């Protein structure tokens, strides 16, 4: 297994990573692992698995991360959220991940639980989870960054202060929320560097494959859809093939601008589908 911070430091080339989410149905896990195994042909450097924060999905995420790494041979960073967990529960999860050989985490606050039976948890912010995992020992830690600020932050400066606090707490690298304008990424990175952040800040990119889906996602996370992209996608929103072509073309141009501008790689939000990501990667590798 690779060491993720080390590959960013030593690769000398763009580092590509894929994000997946846990299938809702437990019976779908076998086919999910098989599909990720097939994606090894795209040569991702590592993958991440989002955290199912409610009910049995919590334990299934941890076990699935272990299976992904063991059965695909791909270094797997398991997302972990602190809301809804006690310190003791989080320590137990960290122990279990280590027992499965998973040594990379993406440490997140997470959304407050919708299930009223779940407690809010003892840790309120991601920097506290980073400190807990760092004190536990044995983990390499990623965190989230928000080029256009977290939707709950009072201001861009407040959001930057929280981000810098996560890095000071011991995070090794950061992955951004999805965005569509490279200028937003570069402006955020410049402000983060001025605030003393030196670790890799990796842009997160989601090739648009559905217009209504894109609108829903961006409304939730506060990302801005540039007018040009919105117009291009709106014009073909009822033609899935043409919409995917537009989304892939935009993402490929976005990624090329990011890499040319010095981004250390690209983290692809795959939505558990490979076609759009494969097409963007093919375009980048041809260039």
Instruction: Tell me: pLDDT of 55 over 70.
Output: no
Q: Which residue has the tokens 């779908």?
A: 28
Question: Residue ranges of the domains in the chain?
Answer: 4-286
Q: What is the pTM of this model?
A: 0.94
pLDDT band for position 113 (cuts 50, 70, 90): low
Instruction: Tell me: pLDDT of 121 over 80.
Output: no
pLDDT digits (tens, 9 = 90+) for 146-190: 999 898 999 999 999 999 999 999 999 999 999 999 999 999 999
Instruction: Tell me: pLDDT of 118 over 80.
Output: no
Residue 207 CA to residue 271 CA, distance in Å, equals: 10
Dihedral in degrees, nearest 10, Cα atoms 78, 151, 189, 231: 100
pLDDT band for position 59 (cuts 50, 70, 90): confident
Give the 3-state secondary structure of residue 277.
Answer: helix
Q: Which residue has the tokens 């996560």?
A: 166
Task: Identify the pLDDT of residue 83.
Answer: 85
147-168 per-residue burial string, b: 16 or more CB within 10 A, e: under 16:
bbbbeebeebeebbebbbbbbe
Structure tokens given for 109: 């606050």
Task: Identify the pLDDT of residue 117.
Answer: 52
Task: Identify the pLDDT of residue 119.
Answer: 58
Catalytic entry in 19, 128, 148, 246: 19
Residue 272 CA to residue 29 CA, distance in Å, equals: 12
Task: Identify the pLDDT of residue 53.
Answer: 62
**Exposed/middle/buried for residue 284 (C-beta within 10 Å: 0-12, 13-18, 19+):** middle
CA distance readout (Å), 29 to 32, 65, 71, 215: 5, 11, 12, 28
User: In the predicted model, what is the mean pLDDT of the chain?
Assistant: 92
Average pLDDT on 37-50 reads: 92
Residue 276 CA to residue 72 CA, distance in Å, equals: 21
CATH class of 4-286: alpha beta
Task: Identify the pLDDT of residue 39.
Answer: 86
pLDDT digits (tens, 9 = 90+) for 242-255: 999 999 999 999 99
Average pLDDT on 138-146 reads: 98
Task: Identify the pLDDT of residue 56.
Answer: 63
pLDDT digits (tens, 9 = 90+) for 190-203: 999 999 999 999 99
Residue pair 264/285 in contact (Cβ under 8 Å)? The answer is no
Task: Identify the pLDDT of residue 40.
Answer: 87
19 is catalytic: yes
Residue 232 CA to residue 246 CA, distance in Å, equals: 7
Q: List the alpha helices (DSSP H) in 100-210.
A: 126-136, 156-169, 182-194
Residue 172 CA to residue 139 CA, distance in Å, equals: 10
């Amino acid at each position: 297994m690779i060491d993720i911070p080390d590959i960013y430091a030593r690769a000398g080339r763009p580092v590509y990573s894929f994000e997946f989410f846990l299938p809702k149905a437990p019976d779908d896990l076998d086919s999910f692992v098989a599909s990720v195994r097939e994606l090894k042909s795209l040569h991702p450097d590592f993958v991440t698995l989002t955290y199912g924060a409610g009910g049995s999905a919590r334990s299934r995420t941890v076990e699935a991360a272990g299976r992904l790494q063991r059965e695909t041979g791909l270094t797997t960073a398991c997302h972990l959220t602190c809301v809804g967990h006690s310190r003791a529960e989080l320590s137990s999860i960290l122990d279990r991940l280590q027992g499965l050989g998973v040594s990379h985490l993406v440490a997140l606050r997470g959304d407050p639980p919708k299930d009223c039976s779940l407690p809010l948890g003892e840790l309120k912010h991601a920097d506290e989870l980073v400190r807990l995992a760092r004190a536990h020992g044995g983990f390499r830690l990623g965190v989230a960054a928000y080029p256009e600020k977290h939707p709950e932050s009072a201001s861009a400066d407040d959001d930057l202060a929280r981000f810098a606090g996560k890095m000071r707490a011991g995070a090794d690298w950061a992955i951004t929320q999805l965005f569509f304008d490279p200028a937003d990424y570069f402006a955020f990175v410049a402000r983060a560097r001025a605030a003393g952040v030196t670790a890799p800040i990796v842009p997160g990119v989601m090739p648009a494959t559905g217009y209504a889906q894109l609108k829903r996602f961006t409304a939730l996370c506060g990302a801005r859809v540039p007018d040009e992209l919105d117009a291009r996608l709106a014009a073909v929103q009822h033609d899935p093939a043409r919409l995917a072509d537009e989304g892939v073309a935009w993402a490929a141009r976005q990624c090329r601008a990011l890499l040319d501008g010095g981004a250390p790689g690209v983290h692809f939000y795959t939505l558990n589908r490979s076609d759009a990501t494969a097409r963007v990667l093919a375009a980048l590798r041809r260039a």
